Amino acid sequence: MRILLMLAVALLLISCGAQMPPDQSAQPASAEEYKETPEIPSVASAVDAGSIGTALSYLASDALKGRASDDEGIEMAAVYIARYFEASGIKPYYPGYRDTLSNVKPATVNIVGYLEGSDPELKHEFVVLGAHYDHIGAVEPVGGDFIANGANDNASGTTAVMEIARKMAGSEHLKRSVMFVLFSAEERGLKGSAHLADRLDKEGVKVYAMLNFEMVGVPLEKDYTAYLTGYEMSTMAEEMNTLAGEQLIGFLPQAREYKLFQRSDNYPFYQKFGVPAQTVCTFDFTNFDFYHKPGDEFELMNLEHMAAFVNRILPVVEGMVNSEKGVIRMK
Ligand SMILES: [Zn+2]
């Protein structure tokens, strides 16, 4: 989510007198300290503030240096995510889960895993669940802190997809196949998703629907939990609320006003496959002040909210994977 968003955020910051980010004067820890990736919870263990916090704090740690897609921190994140998939029994869609982008230099990779569906016909269709795991790296220092850690943008969405994958690996009843994708180079213009959508299309892969997770680290203060970009374009939002049995997903007018549908990794999938491909998000320009700033830190993430969000959206995503033909469709 790029230029318009920055304008919107700048306007808001001016209007609401930004708070100072927490003091980060301590020198960033050496990469050495993080060679060991955190322990990965078992498929059976619950999604809770602890499991969310472990993954998110690593991804948003100073040692990963804000995960710019042309810097070493992104590779550490890629290794961790691949280990997470492997430990959870998610199969590599490409060797080593690694899909090297053809449209940026220096090279960087998307991490792609999958679960095969059980229905003889529907298993040939994929539901794609994605999030970008890159961020912008070093920025103008604020209070001596020059690392944009990207906890909310988008270590939060990355963690949500990793945790959903871990739990779905334990599901016995998935009719369609599910692809889990962590995109790189989103911050350089949706490069990772554009590359993969093009590659999958060339490989003849059928996509039924795509759901992208973006900035889900802090809760919305609304009568729904998250909004969907392109809300009015398909039946996805209403089908998700039917499956949730509650108003989980809502419509955010600013999302349409700022054309957010076109600003995140769902868009290249919509362009390439013409199917419902939308982004779920809990950032509404008023509930988080540190977009693309050094202050986008792990400590500001609401882990209870994230755990509740993941646990409520899990059965919804499974319901989407098992939905009858044509239930989730463009309007
Ligand atoms: Zn983002």
The answer, yes or no, to whether residue 309 has pLDDT greater than 50, is yes
The whole-number pLDDT of residue 36 equals 72
The rounded Cα 173 to chain-centroid distance in angstroms is: 24
Q: Are strands 145-148 and 137-142 parallel, antiparallel or unpaired?
A: antiparallel
pLDDT band at 35 (very low <50, low <70, confident <90, very high): low
Predicted pLDDT of residue 14 = 45
| CA 90–ligand 1 middle distance (angstroms) | 24
pLDDT digits (tens, 9 = 90+) for 47-106: 999 999 999 999 999 999 999 999 999 999 999 999 999 999 999 999 999 999 999 999
Compute, in angstroms, the gap from residue 323 CA to the centroid of ligand 1.
29
The helices-and-strands tally (H runs, E runs) of the chain is 9, 11
Looking at the chain, the whole-number percentage of residues with pLDDT higher than 90 is: 89
**Closest to 126 measured CA to CA, from 174, 78, 191:** 174
What average pLDDT does the segment 131-160 reach? Answer: 97
From ligand 1's centre to the CA of 187, what distance in Å?
A: 7
Read off the pLDDT of residues 260-305 as tens digits, 9 standing for 90 and up. Answer: 999 999 999 999 999 999 999 999 999 999 999 999 999 999 999 9
Whole-number Å distance, alpha carbon 20 to ligand 1 midpoint, is 21
Q: How far is CA 177 from CA 117, 121, 210, 321, in A?
A: 4, 10, 12, 8
CA distance readout (Å), 19 to 22, 88, 137, 183: 9, 40, 21, 31
d(Cα 113, Cα 175) in Å, to the nearest integer?
A: 17
- The pair of structure tokens assigned to 210 is 């795509």
Ligand 1 centroid – CA 173 distance (Å): 32
Instruction: Give tens-digit pLDDT for 102-135.
Output: 999 999 999 999 999 999 999 999 999 999 999 9
Domains of the chain: 31-321 (3.40.630.10)
Judged by average pLDDT, the poorest of 2-6, 126-130, 219-223 is 2-6
Task: Work out the widest C-alpha separation in the chain, in whole angstroms.
Answer: 58
